[in-house]
Amino acid sequence: MGSAMNDPLNHETTHWQTRGERGHQWLMRLMVFLSLRLGRRITRPLLLPISLYFLLFVPEARRSSRSFLGRVHGRPARTTEIFGHIHHFASTIHDRVYFLNGRFDAFEITVEGRECFEPPEAAILVGAHVGSFDALRAAAWSERDLAITMMMYPENARKIQRVLDAINPDKASDIIELGQIDSMIEADHRLQQGNLVGMLADRSLATDPMTERSFLGEPAQFAEGPFRMAALLRQRVLFMAGIYLGGNRYRVHFEPIADFRTTPRSERRQAIKTAMDRYVASLESLVRDHPNNWFNFFDFWATAESRDSASTQGSD
């Protein structure tokens, strides 16, 4: 789908791309290697020193967790709470190996919102970097045999693609790179086949349109792209999340937030605004109930200018 050098989306690299995903990839490679050889029961205790490493030696993750948890709890976050937050993240990455190998029997997964797929029909799923997308996709595979295609920005798509190729090559085709000429055409093709197409609206490239909403008491930026695409393709929109509850327990949540199938063109702009309001409200409610599932380990509320400035300064 084109090289990175020829991709216009790579001319501006956002803060979350340059810093926020590095630890994720290192941790993913390590956990794939160990988990496939030793099994879940034996390798889970190894997450404790890995989480401790991130707490002690990845200051940006520590600062971001402290800031986020402080907003949620309305008080300074304790070190034990920050550790628990990071450990939740490590746990979901560890479990990804088993989800992608179809080892669903190792988990207890409950589903909220099954009625959204009765009868089964296409939809655009909009989520965030909250909980486990793999648990959500596993529930769709095992309960409804629904195909889910994820639309991702090029660099993240290539990272995940490498993981999929290593763990389960059969699922490698479940990803569409955003920003390519044929991205929307391919998404529309999948939807016409009755598939679900998933997107995340809590991050975007610098060149993409963003809209400000109040989130946990302060202004934050959210991507308009998923909602614009749903309106253009005349699709319904569901909020999605796969919440990690600890141990081997997950709760998958689907919630209708918009339906553009019958929206007149003259009302599309307002319908997109209303859909975004509902999305942000659902996301805020979810992270207040399950703060340890928030996996944006950077300053989510910072402006683009302050993020660029912060990236040139030293660690705490």
Give per-residue pLDDT as tens, 111-132.
Answer: 999 888 888 789 999 999 999 9
Interatomic CA distance for residues 163 and 200, integer angstroms: 19
- Predicted pLDDT at 220: 96
How many CB atoms are closer than 10 A to CB 313?
7
* Cβ–Cβ < 8 Å for 94, 103: no
Averaged pLDDT score across all residues of the chain: 83
pLDDT value of position 314 = 40
Of 233, 249, 252, nearest to 190 by C-alpha is 233
Report which of residues 96 and 263 the model is more confident about: 263
C-alpha to C-alpha distances, 112 to 251, 256, 288, 310, nearest whole angstrom: 7, 11, 18, 39
| Statement: residue 2 has pLDDT above 60 | no
Choose the most confident range, by mean pLDDT, from 82-96, 108-122, 140-154, 159-173: 82-96
Given a cut of 80, is residue 143 above it in pLDDT? no
CA 204 – CA 202 distance, rounded (Å): 7
Give the angle 124-130-133 at the CA atoms, nearest 5°.
55
Give whichever of 81-85, 92-96, 101-105, 175-179 has the largest mean pLDDT. 81-85
Tokens coding 195? 């598939």
What percent of the chain shows pLDDT beyond 70?
Answer: 77
Q: Which amino acid is at 64?
A: S
pTM here is 0.84
